[in-house]
Amino acid sequence: MERRQTAFLFDLDGTLVDSVYQHVLAWHEALEAEGINLSVWRIHRKIGMSGGLFTNMLLRETGGSALDPERAERLQKRHAESYGRRSKEIRPLPGAKELLAYLTGEGIPWTIATSGRMATARPTLDTLGVDPDKVPVVTRDQVKYAKPDPDLFLAAAARLGVAIEDSYVVGDSVWDILAARRARALGVGVLSGGYGEAELERAGAYRVYEDPLALLNHIDEVGGRR
Amino acid sequence: MERRQTAFLFDLDGTLVDSVYQHVLAWHEALEAEGINLSVWRIHRKIGMSGGLFTNMLLRETGGSALDPERAERLQKRHAESYGRRSKEIRPLPGAKELLAYLTGEGIPWTIATSGRMATARPTLDTLGVDPDKVPVVTRDQVKYAKPDPDLFLAAAARLGVAIEDSYVVGDSVWDILAARRARALGVGVLSGGYGEAELERAGAYRVYEDPLALLNHIDEVGGRR
């Protein structure tokens, strides 16, 4: 019997890079500039979805009406600017670079799938030392529906040439874990994006680790061997 | 039989005012300036304790040694400066002003007890329209031990002249809820500081609401009547 090849599909913000809180406050600033007042924790709990999706969702939940395309585009631009000003504070999460280097060294396929657009993802990938011209990173620009739809992770598995059923999706938000289930991948949670352990478990995470370093230290639990 | 008078003892940041994420990033910036690199989510999960306490705790957990008093003092100052720069973004949480006005109108005693010092609490109280010369606010400056020790809430009940056993402690962090239990008060959680519901329930919260507006809408559940 041929052994199945495990692969790892990573979310970016909050999973490999310590950038969630800056993204949250950048969305807060962008929304305020558009006259939309939402509590910061509500933005945090929706982040990981695409910006347009979570904004419309929050507007609906809080009784407002959906964004027109022009305003949605302006909001994306304001967010990218605000995040850019904050991006000097962004650091890779502990163990993130080491985890990716370990997988590469073991010949285990991996890539990154993010709900962000390449314009905001590129500086974040830079801090991680990942070159999107070499690693087949999948961004919001390349799929029609972002998380919690499964498309980003399905596209990532296809670009690696691996079966989604043999892939682990590693993410910090319930939207990653939900997208993993819908894609038929195994979801692994990390706490480094600021969600609680129970939220990730309830969403269906098979295992939850503190951060990429803890995942690397327990890599055998998720079949991370050649 | 005399009816017992319910009282409300509120935490400030994340409970009445939408300031947790700014505090978290201000601590992150202050710690980096002192050469201490900690992931942002770890700071978030410790916030609500006093700054000195949570810094020493995080240093111990991540293998470093405790701060000397001079460095701890410098850290507090750097945090206050960084938070000050971010404080123009701070807003009261939905329903916070209305909840306090309701309690005042009903003649139900309430006050605020915060692990922060008055220097950082004052601008936050300003956004809420609370004057610490009129409301007996208790800060870190007035007690020896901050949360999760019960001292802040015990001092707050004493200043109101109410029994702690008849008081509700309302807070967004597990440290508020733990301090409430140690003080023999009833703990009520709010999600507006970014903790998950399960975390607050596990810490012993009697009820958990989304934010002050949801608490006001369900005030009868926590005995908020004259």
Backbone angles phi, psi at B50, to 5 degrees: -65, 155
pLDDT in tens, B72-124: 889 889 999 999 999 888 999 999 999 999 999 999 999 999 998 888 899 89
Mean pLDDT computed over every residue of chain B: 92
Query: pLDDT above 70 covers what percent of chain A?
Result: 97
- pLDDT of residue A127 exceeding 60, the answer is yes
Which of A53-57, A175-179, B207-211 bottoms out in mean pLDDT, i.e. has the lowest? A53-57
Query: Considering the entire predicted model, what is its pTM?
Result: 0.93
User: Considering CB atoms only, which of A21, A37, A195 is closest to B40?
Assistant: A21
pLDDT in tens, B116-171: 888 889 989 999 999 999 999 999 999 988 899 999 999 999 999 999 999 999 99
CB pair distance less than 8 Å for A202 and B198: yes
**What's the whole-number mean pLDDT along residues A57-84?**
84
pLDDT in tens, B29-85: 999 998 888 999 999 999 877 777 777 887 887 777 777 888 888 988 999 999 999
- In Å, how far is B138's CA from the nearest CA of chain A? 25
- ipTM of the complex as predicted: 0.92
Domains identified in chain B and CATH numbers: 7-19+91-222 (3.40.50.1000), 20-88 (1.10.150.240)
A13 labelled catalytic: yes
Q: Are B60 and B53 in contact (CB under 8 A)?
A: no
Chain A residue at shortest CA distance from B46: A194
pLDDT for B97 equals: 98
Query: pLDDT above 70 covers what percent of chain B?
Result: 97
Backbone angles phi, psi at A187, to 5 degrees: -95, 135
Residues of A in CB contact (< 8 Å) with B are 14, 18, 20-22, 24-25, 28-29, 32, 37, 39-41, 44-45, 89, 91, 93-94, 191-199, 202, 211
Q: Are B24 and B46 in contact (CB under 8 A)?
A: no
Give the CA angle between residues A73, A75, A76 to the nearest 5°.
65
Q: Are A86 and A26 in contact (CB under 8 A)?
A: yes
- pLDDT of residue A119 exceeding 90, the answer is no
Measuring CA to CA, which residue among B216, B176, B163 is closest to residue B48? B176
- In Å, how far is B103's CA from the nearest CA of chain A? 23
CB pair distance less than 8 Å for A20 and B41: yes
What number of C-beta contacts closer than 8 Å exist between A and B? 78
Query: Of the listed B13, B149, B151, B172, which one is catalytic?
Result: B13
Measuring CA to CA, which residue among A125, A202, A114 is closest to residue A156? A114
Residues 6+ apart with CB under 8 A from A219: A99, A102, A225
Of residues A60 and B167, the one with the higher pLDDT is B167
A133 labelled catalytic: no
pLDDT in tens, B4-15: 789 999 999 999
- In Å, how far is A199's CA from the nearest CA of chain B? 7
**What's the whole-number mean pLDDT along residues A119-136?**
92
Confidence of residue A95 (pLDDT cuts 50, 70, 90): very high
